[in-house]
Chains A and B, each alone.
Chain A
Amino acid sequence: MKPAIEIKNLGKQYMLQEAPPYIALRDVISQPLKKLFNPAASKVNTFWALQDINLRIEPGERVGIIGRNGAGKSTLLKIISRITPPSTGEAFIRGRVGSLLEVGTGFHPELTGRENIYLNGSILGLKKAEINRQLEAIIDFSGVEKFIDSPLKHYSSGMQLRLAFSVAAHLEPEILLIDEVLAVGDLEFQKKCLGKMEEVSKKDGRTILFVSHNMSYITSLCSKAMLLDKGKLTETGTPVDIINSYISSLSENKSQNNKENNNHSSPVKFISIKAFNTEGVQSDSFSSDKSFKIEMQYSVLEEGHIIWLGYNIFNNQGVNIFDTHSIQTAEYNTPHAVGEYVACATIPGNLFNTGVYFIGCAAFNHLKQTIHFHQKDALAINIYDRFDVTNARGMSPGDFPGVIRPLLKWQIEKI
């Protein structure tokens, strides 16, 4: 069977301009004058959002695309969905492409829900006959039957979203492109959508290309993953492998930057920070039910300092989940001797929700108001769910809300 998506030497170049990409006619007229007086000002920089992309995706594969912001993930989806053309190379797409780059595109507040289904459906590439056939199912899935003949402007934003998702979920393209759409909507509906998506992809053998920052979606939905870095496809493999190398590339970059930040006059120097699983093997990815250890190494160059150690932990939205200090150690009250040390904190299992977390470390003393070093975001780790063990998720599919996800003791008694 021929691949569903075949991409050869694909590249996309953008012009970088200081001004917005569109221009005003007055600039076109005044530009030559400016150039005359300041030739350097109008130099146009270009950059490659994507470069030398080669890939084959077989029909029925569900591929997650991972990478930092600006790595070119969305540009790739835009080229495959033909919103923007490539600058070099070519792509062969076999089958109809449906994109969920944005749901609800083309919704009009003055039209009724039913009218918007037709409009939105045809924008997303459905034929009128297909919409007729699916209309009942779409209305049913959206859960807004009662209001389906009133104008959209009377809907709550949640209802509009449900309707939009519902149309999108009933697209039947052979290739489905999804870009972070699951991050919206209420939980119940999200579950419904994720379930629907798994259903169509597994049952009908649909090809899915999925861009998300939520690593747990990638692991649960995709059969394969690709890592994009600065516009280049650096790795292809199983979701877990790719996520691991993504995470380690994140922390490598951070700690390299941080080494240079060491304060030269400080009596305490940062050496390294690493994470280890319960078997003592260094790793960046941990199952949510397992505990893991964070170790930092540092060296003390002067006698007589009382040094506190600490970690601060942030999620990928930049929320400070918690800080932890070395309070129950002998060194909390007594000075360090000169030498190299390793400080280790154990993070219990069933504490974090799934996702990427950034860990910073510091040596300091609040009483003396000194900070010897503070390495921000020195380490990135990924917490994922394994499906063969019990964790705080229970049997709930999809995104589990909440900043942390502790496993609590529950009791139910009849009264």
Chain B
Amino acid sequence: MEQPLTHITPPGRFSTGIREIWQYRELFYFFTWRDIKVKYKQTTLGFLWAILQPLGMMLLFTLLFSKTWKTDTGPLNYPLFVLSGLILWNLFSSSVSHAGESMIQHAGIIRKIYFPRMIIPGSAVLVSLFDFLMGLLIFIVFCLVYKQPLHWYSLPFFMAGIILVLLAGFGAGTFLSALNVKYRDFRYTIPFLLQVLFFSAQVIYPLSVVKQPWLVNLLALNPVNGAIELFRAGLTGGPVNYSLVLTGLAATILILLTGIYYFRKTEAYFADIA
């Protein structure tokens, strides 16, 4: 029987390593499965916790923006408007922060066992996706409550929005996770970065309230804006601001490539410095 041959050499040219990740797909699955299982085991409120947070935020913002400061959110009423933004935002922010911390949390394993390292931030993003799906269920319930019609044709828009957020979250997360291994104090900047991104995304306000075109173009660089745009347009069947989406897509691709490139470039030495 021919044995598999492994050729070990000093780190060489860049490759994405996707084939190897595919070989290790079971480990990918087990890491994700473990984190979801542990998360929902540790908190008795597990599932409830995943939905209480966006619901609480929704309540707060609804009180502030639909009662105190009247905001025009088009055909969507404010609670649905803000909830749709919040669940997508949470997917992004928890992907970034969990993936960003993930390499340091797994330092013990990294020092002892070889596997494609990108599985670690990757599974952190999948765990966030699981939480998002819980939130999405609640969102659908609220759509029924508020008699918001849901159509099949919305589905591709939803999917496109979610995929955009996932790719951006994974890209930023891998980049930050590699930076975090190398520069241990980098993690303190993550909450600040996320806060800036939160207020620059059309989560709690519609982008239509921003009157300066240059500012809109600047905000479009935040991929979450394009993703929310797609999601809400799918929901209402309204027009899509494609320049917003395309700018967001371009930014996402840039973030993704930078993240993967930097991660792959430094990953060989994680075991030495983690």
Contacts and interface: CB of A to CB of B under 8 A. Distances in A.
Nearest to B12: A85
B1 to A, nearest CB: 10
Contact of B27 (A24, A110, A115, A122): A122
A410 interface: no
A337 interface: no
Interface of A: 4, 14, 21-26, 28, 78-97, 99, 101-102, 105-106, 108, 110-111, 115, 118-119, 122-124, 127-128, 174
Nearest to A92: B7
Given A26-B185, A79-B8, A90-B7, 16 more contacts: A22-B273, A85-B11, A86-B8, A88-B10, A89-B10, A91-B7, A92-B5, A95-B3, A99-B113, A102-B112, A105-B112, A110-B37, A110-B38, A111-B41, A122-B26, A122-B27
Size bracket, chain B contacts: 35 or more
Contacts of A122: 26-27, 30
B9 A86 contact: yes
Interface centre among B10, B111, B271, by most chain A C-beta atoms within 10 angstroms, is: B10
B108 A84 contact: no
A23 B184 contact: yes
Contacts of A111: 34, 37-38, 41
Given A105-B108, A110-B42, A83 B3 contact: no
Given A22-B184, A23-B184, A24-B183, A101 B112 contact: yes
A82 B20 CA distance: 13
A108 B38 CA distance: 8
B185 A84 contact: no
B149 interface: no
A108 B185 contact: no
B38 A86 contact: no
Interface centre among B5, B8, B181, B273, by most chain A C-beta atoms within 10 angstroms, is: B8
B184 A106 contact: no
B60 interface: no
A21 B185 contact: no
Contacts of A14: 272
B186 interface: yes
Contacts of A83: 110-114, 271
A123 B31 CA distance: 9
B49 to A, nearest CB: 15
B52 interface: no
A251 B269 CA distance: 36
Contacts of A4: 3
A298 B12 CA distance: 59
A108 B34 contact: yes
B4 A22 contact: no
21 contacts: A22-B182, A22-B273, A24-B184, A24-B185, A25-B185, A79-B8, A81-B113, A82-B6, A83-B111, A83-B113, A83-B114, A90-B7, A90-B9, A91-B6, A93-B7, A94-B5, A94-B6, A101-B112, A105-B112, A108-B38, A124-B113
B254 to A, nearest CB: 22
Contacts of A115: 34, 37
A363 B181 CA distance: 55
Interface centre among B6, B182, B185, by most chain A C-beta atoms within 10 angstroms, is: B6
Contacts of B110: 83
A17 to B, nearest CB: 10
Contact of A97 (B6, B30, B42): B6
B41 A110 contact: yes
